[in-house]
A and B are shown apart, each in its own frame.
Chain A
Amino acid sequence: MNEYALIMRHEDGSKIASPEQMQAWMKQTMDWIGTIAAQNKFVGGTGLPFDGASVVGHNGVVTNGPFGDIKETIGGFITVRVESLEEAIEFAKGCPVLQAEGNSVEVRRIAKNDGTH
């Protein structure tokens, strides 16, 4: 078993969703995670709210809100416990952020803490 992080990337974090859209999206995300958790393959995860986000650049330049030069932003991530990369990819395909064009989910294996990676 390996653990993978599924990182949700939004093309443009500045897009404002209506409360109804937010609620629908929340439900879909919960159902998506519920599917994974029902297979006992959910390890953990969290959403990363956009408001109040800051980006610290080279030379310590702080940009408030990741909505300046850097458009793409990370909306959250979950960690799954799976047999293979393919299985992690299958889970990623179900992620509701992919309904919006330009968004993506990055699948990354989590380093084992035993030096073997």
Chain B
Amino acid sequence: MQQPEIIPHLFRTEFRKITAVLCKRFGMENVNIAEDIASETFLSALEIWPYKGLPENPTAWLYTVAKNKAKNMLARNEVFHRKITPFVQAETPEGQEPDIDLSPENIADSQLQMLFAICHPSIPAEAQIGLALRILCGFGIDEIATAFLSNKETINKRLYRAREKLRAEKVAIEFPPESEIAGRLQPVLTTMYLLFNEGYYSESSDEVLRNDLCLEAMRLTDMLIAYPPTNLPDVNALLALMCFHASRFKARRNNNGEMVLYHNQDESLWNQELISKGAWHLSKASTGDRLSKYHFEASIAYWHTIKEDTAEKWENILQLFNQLLMLEYSPIAALNRTCALSKVRGNETAIMEAEKLQLTNNQYYFTLLGELYKSIDPQKALENLQQALALAKTQADKQVIQTGINNLTRAKD
């Protein structure tokens, strides 16, 4: 039996379901109890399965054990008893055992409601991502620490503070009323966007983990789309954006784990299925009367799924960046716009515009200038790349810049 593989897999998928249902049942003030019961359930599996063999239906086994543990907990724990029992009894007819509903419907509802609760405006964004990873994605503390390039203690503290905050704010685990959904959805989408970026741009060397972060963000966004009240244009635009980016997973790194820049990527490694899925959601996104930043970013990402450099492609990308920047400025969008400008109007125009940006503490500013100067003034290109290298923080970035410097010096000799 391949128990070593099956348990981590089940852990991911079932831990989050059990936790969400128990959180929903016990309330936000008992999130840690829900997590403990879910953890103990898996501990039991680890203790029993190696000796007795894998049960016929491992998921059902886990649910039964989780239910029993929850009931035992309700009965035994003194503190818990006093705090929770009155609330639970209110919903449970006399003489019946409290039911823990692990039906697929209740699991899906509980997870979505938890998503809204965790992405409550009162919780700092960083903590939202951590909580989402722990409770909704079933990530272990070690994994979260690795993903954030942090350590267990820091993550534990951060999650503890976030749970305290949820408790203090008395955030209810429920669907927001229809009239509030649009507003409450925005922080949820921001968290999904950040969670995806965390994986996509993560410095962590663990490739499986990085991709998992992205896939989890996509799974949760998919859940929002499966729930009709949140199947809205900007949610579809966000999922389209994620699909287009994720389609390049395999092409972005070479066999040594080094970054491969877009124009050097082997497009036969791009995932066509994800590109089609993205295109489908982008078309779904074009139904409303409001364009979000996700719409512009998804459209830009769509044009990047066409490898061939055409005037039309770059003209469209440039106009989309113009609109994105009008809506919301970000240094990275400003730099990428300038890159698109160079494709449309040539490097000299782009250099003039790039130098106006004055993002002199941003390594990508110098990387861009280095690239733009390459064919015009190799010496200036070299100087810019050296400044970029001095600012670069991660090994992957340093490596890319160093390769550029090496190519330039070799060309000069």
Contact = CB atoms under 8 A, between A and B. Distances in A.
The answer to whether A and B belong to the same complex is: yes
A33 B323 CA distance: 9
A42 B325 contact: yes
A74 B337 CA distance: 29
B329 A33 contact: no
A34 B321 contact: yes
Interface string A23-56: 0000100110111011110100000000000000
Interface string A74-85: 000000000000
B209 to A, nearest CB: 34
8 contacts: A27-B315, A31-B322, A37-B322, A37-B326, A38-B338, A38-B356, A39-B357, A39-B358
Contacts of A37: 322, 325-326, 329, 334
User: Mostly helix, strand, loop or mixed at chain A's interface?
Assistant: helix
B303 to A, nearest CB: 16
Contacts of B356: 35, 38-39
Interface string B294-338: 000000000000000000000100110111011001000110011
Contacts of B321: 34
Contacts of A33: 322, 326
Contacts of A27: 315, 319
Interface of B: 315, 318-319, 321-323, 325-326, 329, 333-334, 337-338, 341, 353, 356-358
B318 A31 contact: yes
Interface string A87-98: 000000000000
A30 B322 CA distance: 6
A79 B337 CA distance: 21
Given A34-B337, A35-B353, A35-B356, A40 B329 contact: yes
A35 B344 CA distance: 14
Nearest to A26: B319
B326 A34 contact: yes
Contacts, number: 41
A34 B334 CA distance: 9
A78 to B, nearest CB: 9
Contacts of B357: 38-39
Given A34-B325, A35-B353, A40 B334 contact: yes
Nearest to B321: A34
Contacts of A39: 334, 356-358
Interface residues of A, number: 11
Given A34-B337, A35-B353, A35-B356, A42 B319 contact: no
Contacts of B338: 38
B368 to A, nearest CB: 12
A38 B354 CA distance: 9
A38 B334 contact: yes
A30 B325 contact: no
A27 B340 CA distance: 14
A57 to B, nearest CB: 35
A87 to B, nearest CB: 11
| Chain A to chain B: the 5 pairs with minimum beta-carbon distance, closest first | A34-B322, A37-B325, A38-B334, A40-B329, A30-B322
Nearest to A45: B326
A34 B325 CA distance: 7
A38 B353 contact: yes
A38 B341 CA distance: 11
B319 A38 contact: no
A33 B341 CA distance: 13
B66 to A, nearest CB: 51
B329 A34 contact: no
Nearest to B325: A37
Nearest to A41: B329
Contacts of B323: 30
A38 B321 CA distance: 9
A34 B195 CA distance: 28
Given A31-B341, A38-B333, 12 more contacts: A27-B315, A27-B319, A31-B318, A35-B356, A37-B334, A38-B329, A38-B334, A38-B353, A39-B334, A39-B356, A39-B358, A42-B326
B318 to A, nearest CB: 7
Contacts of A40: 329, 334
A30 B319 CA distance: 7
B347 to A, nearest CB: 16
Determine which residue in A31, A33, A42 has the highest number of CB atoms from chain B within 10 A of its CB, and name it.
Answer: A31
Contacts of A30: 319, 322-323
B365 to A, nearest CB: 12
Choose among B322, B333, B337 the residue with the greatest number of A CB atoms under 10 Å from its CB: B322
B296 to A, nearest CB: 12
Listed residue (A35, A38, A42) with the most chain B CB atoms within 10 angstroms of its CB: A38
A21 to B, nearest CB: 17
